[in-house]
Structure 1
Amino acid sequence: MDLKDRKTGGLSTILIVFLIGYVASDADFGYDSGEQMGPEHWAEHYQACAGKYQSPIDIDEMWVKRTSLPPLEFEGFYDLPMQTKITNNGHTVLLELNQTQEVVVKGGPLNGSYTFAQLHFHWGQNDSVGSEDKINSHSYSMELHMVFYKTEYESVKHAMDYRDGLLVLAIFYEAGDLDNDVYAEITDSLPKIETPNTSYNLRKGFTLRNFLPHNVQRYFTYYGSLTTPPCLEIVTWIDFKHPTRLSHRQLSAFRKIRTKGGLLTHNYRPLQPLSDRVVYYNAEDYIPKSGTLRTAASLLLMSTATITAFVML
């Protein structure tokens, strides 16, 4: 089905609900194998979940294509929001920021700018699992997704009509013994939103730069999908290579979040086939050559015939 055909009906509604942070029914999907709406049954209700370019994937560094892309640019990432709301929507812990101006990402593999919508987390039953994408078959303890929509499409609702509609910045987490102070207000607030469909306004808040790794120019990037129903294939993924460390105590606090059916001990989707996609690794400093400068998107699209299905944004 062409993405243009998805602009009305239940799929659009659920996508907007999940991305913007309002609450869909907990019956819409689950994460346990064998349950009525577990991951193996998503495609029975959401056709795109059986698509060819689904996420998450296992990124094997032996097979990535090393490249040199223009620097990623981050606008508004150092601005403290006027208000930060943390929500348990029954599927994840989600944060929305009330900013005085738009927070934007551009550069790198992106063709145009992308505006921040929200961020949320994925975690596992214990500290040995939890991330959705894996690197060399290694699962990290947790994964953060910063969700952006392409600025020219003006909203998440309109962006979902296009293959290059969304950008997700993914940050991985490893478990350690010491608390990470950057996340203290978030993890300390989790008991206030243990019940599904509850929210709490953080007192201090944070800047988005606090969440990014020190080196933001080393990352993997590929074309994929939302990792929750309706699984639309409209996402450019940027997975930062270097993980952030959280304490065992902070990680365990996420597993006390509840759904209607009990504790939300894990919320990561099983791995999906890579198919014929190319995963790129930005491994070298970018040095533009006079007379040969093109957008990163056009260079990557020309690299292989199969990548015409991959809109490197």
Structure 2
Amino acid sequence: MIGEYLTLKEKMKFTDFHKLPTRVIMKNTGRTVELKGDWSGKPPMFTGGPLRGNYVFEKISFRWAPKEWTESINYDPQYKFIDMQHMEMHIYFYKEDFKSFEKAELQKDGLAAFKLRIMFLQFDPWYEDLEKMMPKVQSINSTAELKPIPLASFAEKEGSQYLFYQGSLDYPPCSESVTWFEPTFGVSISKNLLNEFRKVKLEGGDVSNVRPPQPANNRPMKWVEAYETHNG
């Protein structure tokens, strides 16, 4: 990733990221494993930074391949390094004004998404349930219910920095409707869980759902920080 780096003063504000969903459903869609939740009241939302308007949580999806791959990372304007990627987690939101994800994904600035690296550091106990239930979703269109967990466990770290840029969906229709946020932190899972993901059946017999990096096309990349969390 090569581009312009600026720190924005606008605060990213998170709402209800610590609120437990009433349930979480995991599904093999044929192109990924997807997590969706139900909440009493409104789902989690966030705004601020480069965004105008509220963005509502829609889903979490995962990207994996049979082997690790490399990707250029620029967390410092002066340095570029190659990072080994094992898996990725994508957390999608849609602009509230568009009423639904399906309408928003076709509109400019309709979506916002967090792209998190998967690491093997301190193992989060919540992923034990995910690992336990993964065999239930290895066939296409299969589903399983997971123990509820707040969205803050993934996407929101108060005071953290996020690299952001304008981009596209990483699956068809690949519309250029997404503001991508890449935090300096990642999430940690076990290698056993990675191996369970690699057993998941995908459409067309695919063994990977990782989209190759796309050209930046002179789109600027900037920084924003998260300062505030709202739980009301």
Aligned to 1:120: 61
- Shift of residue 261, structure 1, vs aligned partner: 4.5
**Aligned match of 1:274:** 216
Deviation at residue 190 of structure 1 after TM alignment: 0.5
Query: Structure 1 pair 179/253, CA: closer, same or farther in 2 (3 Å)?
Result: farther
Matched-pair contact (CA < 8 Å) for 1:224–1:236: yes
2:190 to 231, 238, 247: 247
Partner of residue 25 from structure 2, selected from 78, 85, 90: 85
Secondary structure (helix, strand or coil) at the match of 2:85 reads: coil
**How far has the Cα of 1:213 moved from its partner?**
5.8
CA distance in 2, matches of 1:238, 1:284: 11
CA 1:65–1:96 in structure 2 vs 1: closer, same or farther (change >3 Å)?
Answer: same
Inter-CA distance 260–242: structure 2 relative to 1 (3 Å threshold) = closer
Q: Which moved more, 1:204-213 or 1:106-115?
A: 204-213
User: Over aligned residues, Cα RMSD in angstroms?
Assistant: 2.3
Q: After TM superposition, give the deviation of residue 80 of structure 1 in Å.
A: 1.0
2:169 is matched with 226
Letter in 2 for 1:149: Y
Q: 1:116-155 to 2 correspondence within 5 Å? A: 116-126=57-67, 128-129=68-69, 134-135=72-73, 136-155=81-100
CA shift in 2, pair 1:102/1:213, >3 Å:
closer
Cα distance in 2, alignment partners of residues 272 and 213 from structure 1: 26
What residue number does 1:200 align with? 144
Greater relative contact order structure (CA < 8 Å, 6+ sep): 2
Size of the aligned set, in residue pairs, is: 220
Structure 1 residue 158, shift from structure 2 partner = 2.6
CA distance in 2, matches of 1:282, 1:199: 36
Return the offset for 1:216. 5.5
CA distance in 1, matches of 2:174, 2:204: 23
Matches within 5 A, 1:1-313: 59-60=1-2, 63-100=3-40, 101-126=42-67, 128-129=68-69, 134-135=72-73, 136-176=81-121, 179-202=123-146, 204-212=147-155, 214=157, 217-262=160-205, 265-282=207-224
Cα distance change of structure 1 residues 182 and 223 upon mapping to structure 2, 3 Å threshold: same
Question: What is the alpha-carbon distance in structure 2 between the residues aligned to residue 257 and residue 265 of structure 1?
Answer: 8
Distance 1:260 1:65 in 2: 38
How far did 1:283 drift?
Answer: 6.7
How far is the alpha carbon of 1:68 from its aligned partner? 2.9
Relative to the length of structure 1, the TM-score reads 0.65
How far has the Cα of 1:239 moved from its partner? 0.9
Q: Distance in 1 between matches of 2:72 and 2:155?
A: 18
CA shift in 2, pair 1:265/1:180, >3 Å: farther
| CA offsets 1:4-58 (integer angstroms, 9 cap, x no match) | xxxxxxxxxxxxxxxxxxxxxxxxxxxxxxxxxxxxxxxxxxxxxxxxxxxxxxx
Residues 12, 225 of structure 2: 8 Å contact kept: no
Task: Give the structure with the larger strand fraction.
Answer: 2
Cα pair distance change 1:184/1:216, threshold 3 Å: farther
Counterpart-to-counterpart distance in 1, 2:112 and 2:29:
21
TM-score by length of 2: 0.86
Letter in 1 for 2:61: H
Task: Decide which structure has greater helix share.
Answer: 1
For structure 2, list consecutive stretches of 5 or more residues without a partner in the other structure: 74-80
Amino acid of the residue matched to residue 122 of structure 1? R
Report the AA paired with residue 196 of structure 1: I
Aligned residues with identical type, % of pairs: 29
User: Counterpart of 1:97 in 2: which secondary structure?
Assistant: strand
